[in-house]
């Protein structure tokens, strides 16, 4: 197997991150957001939005990466206004930072 194939296989083997968001849950259960690991292309796309040094970058991360348990995207560009102006910045930034941090060492032990 070539190096590039091993790099691709490694990325595909990474588990999705699971982020519990009690503030956005229902019936006493937290919302669970899933996200695959960031790639260089994802990082570039966020930077290309011109928000790399702004709090709006957190919204870009959620729109680009936040998924439900079935892998469906939770947000789209049409949600940008609400996430930017009508959602708690502390919650949005906490979720985005969890996504950006990638998998923890315990998760990677088998990889």
Q: Are 91 and 5 in contact (CB under 8 A)?
A: no
What sign does the dihedral 47-106-36-95 (CA atoms) show? negative
DSSP 8-state code for residue 55: T
Query: Per-residue pLDDT tens for 27-79?
Result: 999 999 999 999 998 888 887 666 556 788 999 999 999 999 999 999 999 99
Q: Are 19 and 33 in contact (CB under 8 A)?
A: yes
Query: Per-residue pLDDT tens for 5-14?
Result: 999 999 999 9
Residue with tokens 């959602």: 87
Confidence class for position 108, pLDDT limits 50, 70, 90 = low
Per-residue confidence (pLDDT) for residue 42, from 0 to 100: 86
The answer to whether the pTM exceeds 0.85 is no
CATH no. of 15-106: 3.30.2220.20
Two tokens, residue 16: 């999705």
């Amino acid at each position: 197997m070539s190096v590039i194939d091993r790099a691709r296989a490694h990325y595909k083997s990474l588990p999705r991150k699971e982020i519990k968001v009690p503030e956005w849950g229902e019936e006493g259960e937290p919302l669970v957001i899933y996200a695959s690991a960031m790639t260089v292309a994802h990082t570039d796309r966020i930077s290309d939005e011109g928000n790399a040094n702004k709090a709006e970058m957190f919204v870009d991360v959620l729109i680009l990466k936040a998924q439900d348990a079935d892998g469906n995207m939770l947000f789209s560009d049409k949600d940008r206004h609400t996430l930017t102006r009508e959602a708690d910045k502390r919650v949005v930034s906490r979720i985005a930072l969890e996504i950006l941090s990638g998998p923890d060492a315990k998760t990677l032990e088998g990889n």
